[in-house]
Homo-oligomer: A and B are copies of this chain.
């Protein structure tokens, strides 16, 4: 029964997808005429955090004071050797290695204190190596720019050194405490995960919000669930033709709803192939370079979905990696009283 329903749903979705694709082609042509340019910050020539300026002590307190029970949802995935990552352009995968082990230190005697000491004190040390856009992480505003510039007009010629950007690097991203809303598009569509390459539309978001009985407000952190995180432990499947959020949908979130930060549970927020012929990552450049809106990728939203938690205090603080274009974070959600 369940399978049949899924199949029917799939057919419907596939039909819808065909229509959508046709629409997108038309859209693409119209988009193609709109020029893309980096945005100038309304928060001043020195601004490096864009929409995160919307956050204030008052906005933080407003949501924190509504926390219901202290129950906590972990919105992040694990880091492990073999985890999925964007590797088409040669970026390094996640590596983990041991630098010291209880047995190894007995053989090596690295501290010169001898076998007895090293047999007694069992030391384990380890190291990691990774592309900064792996696991649950935030994209910094410098990750994608337009024409050699990034958000607020900073240029690679003047502001990009060998150790990253002098402007908008991950170290500038403040800890984030805000009202969070999860839009469960997969549940709205009645599927475990959206179909391959499906692009979430603004109507999908509106429909799901209506069904969930939640309204967005300016300054929200908006998380979109595609269901793709179910495949996180099978890298090949997770990376294959994953669904994502359309340019039109993110424009609605940012321009109409005043979203401060976005997030999704797939590899790259947007889906591929790209929606514009003249831009291979139009959602990335729109958000980061044109609007100064950061977003979180590769989130884990399954528990929120299971428990139908749609509104919460969102708390996250990314590592302060100086100059970096992205940074790992482990966001949490605490359900709030309505």
Stretch at the interface among A96-104, A194-202, A240-248, A254-262: A96-104
Q: In the complex, are the beta carbons of B124 and A145 less than 8 A apart?
A: yes
Contact A124 B330 (CB under 8 A): no
Contact B127 A78 (CB under 8 A): no
Instruction: Report A126-149 residues with CB < 8 Å from chain B CB.
Output: 126-133, 135, 142-149
**A328 CB contacts on chain B under 8 angstroms:** 319, 328
Q: Are A98 and B164 in contact (CB under 8 A)?
A: yes
| CB nearest neighbor in B for A134 | B127
Which residues of B have CB within 8 Å of A74?
174-175, 317
Cα(A314)–Cα(B329), bound, Å: 17
Q: In whole Å, how far is A320's beta carbon from the nearest beta carbon of chain B?
A: 4
Bound Cα distance A36, B120 (Å): 9
Q: How far is the CA of A95 from the CA of B129 in the complex (A)?
A: 9
Tell yes or no: A326 within 8 A of B by CB: yes
Number of copies: 4
Cβ of A14 within 8 Å of any chain B Cβ, yes or no, is no
Distance between Cα atoms of A285 and B99 in the complex (Å): 18
Q: Assess whether A13 is interfacial by the CB under 8 Å rule.
A: no
The answer to whether A332 and B175 touch across the interface, beta carbons within 8 angstroms, is yes
Q: Which residues of B contact A130 (CB under 8 A)?
A: 127-129
Contacts of A12 in B (CB 8 A): none
**Contact status B133-A125, CB under 8 Å:** yes
The answer on a CB contact under 8 Å between A175 and B72 is yes
Q: Which of B36, B129, B131, B158 contacts A107 (CB 8 A)?
A: B158
* Chain A residues within CB distance 8 Å of chain B: 36, 56-62, 64-65, 67-72, 74, 76-82, 88-93, 95-105, 107-108, 110-111, 113, 117, 119-133, 135, 142-150, 156-166, 171, 174-175, 177, 278-281, 285, 289, 315-326, 328-332, 334
Q: Give me 16 A-to-B residue pairs in the complex whose CB atoms sit less than 8 angstroms apart, sorted by A's number.
A: A60-B70, A80-B163, A81-B163, A82-B90, A90-B99, A96-B163, A104-B161, A108-B163, A111-B280, A120-B278, A122-B156, A124-B142, A126-B325, A127-B131, A128-B324, A317-B331
